[in-house]
């Protein structure tokens, strides 16, 4: 059994209020969870207007599949949303 987790810090470009930010982050979390069946949650920077941190965790019987899934998740987040990932930490 393999477990991989990352914390992504990112800037949200179209966020002018906490309501805008929460809408974007909730949409991102719901979409990624439903599509990839990973554990994902906002884990920091909740009071910042245009910065957020999300944690992503994946468990798999194959390390390769877990890493490929994580790579696909990060790629989709960067491509689909008006955000800029500026830090990825392994925990």
Tens of pLDDT along 9-25?
Answer: 999 988 889 998 999 99
**Per-residue confidence (pLDDT) for residue 52, from 0 to 100:** 94
Residue 80 has pLDDT above 90, yes or no: no
The four Cα atoms 78, 32, 59, 42 give a dihedral, to 10 degrees, of 80
The answer to whether the CB of 42 falls within 8 A of the CB of 53 is yes
**Taking the model in full, what pTM does it have?**
0.87
Q: Which helix (H) or strand (E) holds 75?
A: helix 63-80
**Per-residue confidence (pLDDT) for residue 58, from 0 to 100:** 94
Rounded CA-CA distance 54/20 in Å is 16
Tens of pLDDT along 36-78?
Answer: 999 999 998 888 889 999 999 999 999 999 999 999 999 999 8
């Amino acid at each position: 059994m393999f477990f991989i987790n990352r914390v992504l810090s990112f800037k949200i470009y179209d966020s002018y209020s906490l309501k805008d930010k929460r809408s974007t982050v909730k949409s991102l979390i719901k979409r990624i969870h439903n599509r990839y069946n990973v554990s994902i949650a906002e884990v920091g920077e909740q009071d910042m207007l245009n910065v957020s941190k999300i944690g992503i965790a994946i468990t798999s019987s194959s390390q390769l599949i877990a890493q490929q899934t994580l790579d696909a998740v990060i790629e989709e987040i960067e491509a689909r949303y008006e955000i800029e990932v500026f830090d990825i930490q392994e925990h």
